């Protein structure tokens, strides 16, 4: 039977390929492109979020193929790594729009402190109200900041860093989905304020959404994300020690 020859051959090729970064790297980018394509097809509606689509497709693929997360991440880490340089790249729009930024220094500072404290206390507070375990609640404290920073903070306060990564992603997707309708509802026309709010609440995914809509909004979102990374890193350990 020819299938007796082909099936083991396919099996061999599969085992060979999936042990290397190439497959998971390619599949990650492909899943994201599918998400982007659906987003465009849906008229760039915020509810059709490319990250959410990509994650769902990839989780389904890992489950169907019985691949463990570590194997997947070994390949996809090359994409993950770019979060660092992308964070550094925020200096470019910051420099380009610095005159507007300097004018808004006071509103930004006030919104940063208010937003940062609200993000931490409301996440932990609501979780505790619902009887969520201490370990999980702590993993939620830094949900509004960019992933590498959030994972570091969670480690410091005794939460689960990889759970934080997931919660950070979900926070970003929610922020990107609700920011436009929410701001329209509040009748906020100021791109600076809209961008800053989404950056404080939902880091890079919110910032990505802001850049899609308006460059000023994106710039302010990027600044908010960078500042909130710093503010949250300082405030979470303080606030958590008060809760104990």
Partner 1 sequence: MIAALMGLLACQLAGELLARLLGLPVPGPVLGTILLFLVLMARGRIPDTLRDVSRTLLANLSLLFVPAGVGIIQHLDRLRGEWLGIAAAVFGSTVLTMVVAVLVFRGVSRLTGADAAPSDRGRA
Which residues inside 41-60 make contact with partner 1, applying CB under 8 A? 50-51, 54-55, 58-59
For the CB of residue 15, give the shortest distance to partner 1 in the complex, in Å: 21
The nearer residue to partner 1, 2 or 88, going by C-beta atoms, is 88
The nearer residue to partner 1, 76 or 240, going by C-beta atoms, is 76
- Compute φ and ψ for 18, nearest 5 degrees: -70, -10
C-alpha 220 chain-centroid distance: 17
Q: What three-state secondary structure class fits 182? A: helix
**Given the rule CB under 8 A, which of 5-13, 14-22, 40-48, 208-216 is the region that contacts partner 1?**
208-216
Q: How is residue 117 written in tokens?
A: 């404290």
For the CB of residue 118, give the shortest distance to partner 1 in the complex, in Å: 4
For the CB of residue 190, give the shortest distance to partner 1 in the complex, in Å: 4
Closest CA to 226 of 154, 149, 120: 149
Q: Distance (Å, rounded) from C-alpha 132 to C-alpha 24?
A: 34
For the CB of residue 10, give the shortest distance to partner 1 in the complex, in Å: 25
Please, which of residues 155-194 interact with partner 1 by CB under 8 A? Answer: 162-163, 165-172, 174-176, 178-180, 182-184, 186-194
Please, which of residues 104-143 interact with partner 1 by CB under 8 A? Answer: 104-108, 110-112, 114-115, 118-119, 122-124, 126-127, 129-133, 136-137, 140, 143
For the CB of residue 14, give the shortest distance to partner 1 in the complex, in Å: 19
Please, which of residues 73-92 interact with partner 1 by CB under 8 A? Answer: 73, 76-77, 79-80, 82-92
The nearer residue to partner 1, 13 or 47, going by C-beta atoms, is 47
For the CB of residue 16, give the shortest distance to partner 1 in the complex, in Å: 22
CA end-to-end span of the chain:
68
Q: Does 65 bind partner 1 (CB under 8 A)?
A: no
What are the residue ranges of helices labelled H in 19-146? Answer: 21-41, 50-65, 69-81, 83-89, 91-96, 98-103, 105-129, 134-140
Is the distance from CB of 197 to CB of 183 less than 8 angstroms?
yes
**Given the rule CB under 8 A, which of 3-11, 14-22, 40-48, 94-102 is the region that contacts partner 1?**
94-102
Interface residue with partner 1 among 46, 142, 204, 240 (CB under 8 A) is 204
Compute CA distances 58 → 22, 31, 69, 204, whole Å: 15, 7, 10, 20
DSSP per residue over 79-107, as a string?
A: HHHTHHHHHHHTHHHHHHTHHHHHHTHHH
């Amino acid at each position: 039977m020819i299938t007796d020859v082909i099936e083991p051959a396919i099996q061999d090729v599969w085992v060979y390929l999936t042990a290397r970064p190439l497959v998971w790297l390619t599949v990650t980018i492909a899943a994201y492109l599918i998400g982007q394509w659906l987003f465009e097809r849906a008229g760039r509606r915020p509810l059709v979020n490319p990250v959410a689509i990509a994650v769902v497709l990839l989780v389904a693929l890992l489950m169907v193929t019985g691949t463990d997360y570590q194997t997947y991440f070994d390949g996809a880490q090359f994409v993950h790594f770019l979060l660092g340089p992308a964070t550094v790249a925020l200096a470019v729009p910051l420099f380009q729009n610095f005159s507007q930024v300097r004018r808004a220094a006071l509103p930004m500072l006030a919104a940063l402190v208010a937003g940062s404290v609200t993000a931490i206390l409301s996440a932990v507070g609501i979780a505790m109200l619902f009887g969520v375990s201490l370990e999980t609640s702590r993993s939620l404290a830094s949900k509004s900041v960019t992933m590498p920073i959030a994972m570091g903070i969670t480690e410091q306060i005794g939460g689960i860093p990889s759970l934080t990564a997931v919660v950070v992603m979900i926070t970003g997707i929610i922020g990107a989905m609700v920011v436009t309708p929410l701001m329209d509802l509040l009748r906020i026309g100021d791109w600076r304020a809209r961008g800053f709010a989404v950056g404080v609440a939902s880091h890079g995914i919110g910032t990505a959404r802001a850049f899609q809509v308006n460059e000023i909004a994106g710039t302010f979102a990027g600044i908010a994300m960078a500042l909130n990374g710093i503010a949250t890193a300082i405030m979470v350990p303080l606030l958590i020690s008060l809760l104990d």
